[in-house]
Amino acid sequence: MRLLLATNNPGKIAQIRETLHDLPCEIVSSSELGLGIIDVEESGSTLEENARLKARGFFHAAQTAELKDIAVLADDGGLQIDTLNGEPGIYARRWAGEDATDEEIIAYALKGMEGIPLDKRTARFSVYQVLILPDGQEHAVTGTTEGAIVENAVKNKYPGLPYGALLLVSRFGKVYDELNPDEQVHTHRAVALNQIRAIILQNIARYA
C-alpha cells in the first residue's frame, strides 16, 4: 500500500513525512505518482468539510489513473485567533490575499494583533484529517494545540505553513516552530497523525 498525501503544500508534506516516517508503506505526493498538481476546490465551511473534499478529490484522481493499493490522507488545518473572531480559520492561505507569501501572511497577522494585550491574544491550531483506504473506507481524526499569538514572529521553519512562527504553545512556553522533536509529538498534527498511524497499521495487512 502507498499513502498519497492530498496536498500541494510542501511544508505540510514535509511535516507529515517526518511524523509518519516509520510506517511500512511509501508516502507519496501526487507529482511523484505522475498525477501532477491536483486542484480541489475547498468550498466547505469547516475544516472537516474541506478535508473530506480534498481526500475524495485525490482518491478519485488515483482511481481514475487506475493506480492500485493507494490510500489517501487529507489534512485541513487552521489557526483560530479568539480576539479576531476565530480568523483566519479555514482561510489560512487566503486571509492576507490569494497570492500572499508566507512573510506577507505573518506580517498581516501581526498587524491585526497590534495593541492587543498578551492575555487577549489566545489562539489555537486545529486540524481535521481524513484517511481513505484503498477500498474506499473513510476514517477521520482531529487534533488541537492551544496557545497565544506572539508580538514578534520567529523564523518560519516550514515553507507553506507560516503560522507556526506565530503561536506560543501554552504547554511548552515556546513558539510552535521552535519546538524540538520530543515536544512536537504533543501538537495537533502529530496527535492526529498518530491516530492515523494506528488505523493504517490495523488495516495494512489487507492490502499486502
DSSP reduced 3-state for 63: helix
Q: What is the DSSP letter of 189?
A: H
**Cβ neighbours of residue 43 closer than 8 Å, sequence gap 6 or more:** 49, 50, 53
**Cβ neighbours of residue 14 closer than 8 Å, sequence gap 6 or more:** 158
99 labelled catalytic: no
Q: Whose CA is closest to 159, among 177, 182, 173?
A: 177
Active-site position among 76, 99, 119, 182 = 76
Instruction: Give dist(CA 68, CA 20) in Å, integer.
Output: 21
Phi, psi of 52 (to 5 degrees): -65, -40
Residues with catalytic function: 76
